[in-house]
Amino acid sequence: MALEVSHVVGGYSQIPVLKDISFDVRDGELVGLIGLNGAGKSTTINHVIGLLTPHKGTITLNGVTIDQDSQAYKQQIAYIPETPVLYQELTLREHLEMTMMAYDLDQKQAWETAHDLLKIFRLDNKLDWFPANFSKGMKQKVMIVCAFLTQAKLYIIDEPFLGLDPLAVNDLLNLIEQRKKTGASILMSTHVLDTAQRYCDRFVLLHDGQVKTEGTLSELQAALPEAGESLNDIYLSMTKVDRA
């Protein structure tokens, strides 16, 4: 059991956005976090990466909570935010080097990985560029490279498919597949349901700060038999129940 979120109540202020959320991500598993705008996906992610502290409940990562040992907890996580923000004063090369320093990686080995990743995302000739010269998609790629440099146990990816070109989306999915095989887990939030349906092992459907349902696609289909075949149909029917 890599990540375990149990009975988390939380949000940005005293008013909770998340109302008693529980789910888990197992080793070598890609879990899709699905929900409308404002359902609580980003809030959940912010709790998992430690930007927010839950009002109630616990988040455990391979037996450690952030309160017990924040460094051991953070060491296991790599995060790719939806809106890429980089250090304005650092070049791409320096971002990579700083990531290596922060995660205490072996520099020689890490640079080998880095060069492979840079080549995949066609950034290998832009090592001395500053973030100001990158487009949004390129910045996102920089964050992907930094994240996959770390050999983390849990990758948290917030809406990766918007803003990336189709080639990069494909490369990212390949990378995810590769890391899954080595036992890493991925928690990914997205609106692109057909891609999610094809690649995710399990789904957590968030609605209005609650976990509406979770499971594999076939489990979801079994739970909501009249909803339809695809994740899209299931999801739409789920939100409709709420609207009625």
Partner 1 sequence: MTDLFKSRLQRHLREMAKYLRLVFNDFFVFALMFLLGGLGYGYSNVLKQLKMGLWWAPVVVVLVLLVTLQVGRFATLIEDADRVFLLPKERAMHAYLVAARRYSQGLAQTTQVIVVFLLAPFLRVALGWSVPQIVGLLVAQVILKDTLLRLDLASAYQVTGQRRMNEWPIKWVLGLVALAVGVWLTPYAAIVLAILADGAVAVWMQRHWQQQQIRWREQIKIEDNRMLGIYRFFNLFTEVPMVEGTIKRRRYLDWLFKPIKSTHEQTYAYLFSRGMVRGTDFSGLVVRLTVIGMLLLYFVRGEWLPVFLAALFIYLIGFQLLPFFQQYDDVVFTHIYPIAPELRLKSFEHLVTLILGVAALLMWLVIVVANLSLMTAGIALIVELVEVWYLARIYTPQRLARAMKNKA
Q: Which residues bind partner 1 (CB under 8 A)?
A: 49-51, 70-75, 77, 79, 81, 85-90, 94, 97-104, 107, 130, 132, 146
Name which of 107 and 170 has its Cβ closer to partner 1: 107
Tell me how far, at minimum, the Cβ of 219 lies from partner 1, in Å: 32
On whether the CB atoms of residues 74 and 50 are closer than 8 A, the answer is yes
Tell me how far, at minimum, the Cβ of 213 lies from partner 1, in Å: 29
CA distance 4 to 148: 22
Tell me how far, at minimum, the Cβ of 90 lies from partner 1, in Å: 6
Tell me how far, at minimum, the Cβ of 222 lies from partner 1, in Å: 37
- Kind of pairing between the strands at 30-34 and 185-190: parallel
Name which of 73 and 235 has its Cβ closer to partner 1: 73
Write phi, then psi, for 173 (nearest 5 degrees): -60, -40
Q: How many CB atoms lie within 10 A of CB 67?
A: 11
Tell me how far, at minimum, the Cβ of 125 lies from partner 1, in Å: 17
On whether the CB atoms of residues 92 and 129 are closer than 8 A, the answer is yes
Residue 27, burial from CB neighbour count under 10 angstroms (0-12, 13-18, 19+): middle
Name which of 62 and 239 has its Cβ closer to partner 1: 62
CA distance 157 to 78: 8
Name which of 104 and 226 has its Cβ closer to partner 1: 104
On whether the CB atoms of residues 161 and 190 are closer than 8 A, the answer is yes
Name which of 100 and 193 has its Cβ closer to partner 1: 100
Name which of 30 and 49 has its Cβ closer to partner 1: 49
Q: How many CB atoms lie within 10 A of CB 215?
A: 14
Residue 201 CB contacts under 8 Å (≥ 6 apart), including other chains: 29, 30, 31, 216
Name which of 72 and 173 has its Cβ closer to partner 1: 72
Tell me how far, at minimum, the Cβ of 104 lies from partner 1, in Å: 4
Tell me how far, at minimum, the Cβ of 228 lies from partner 1, in Å: 37
Distance of alpha carbon 96 from its chain centroid, rounded? 20
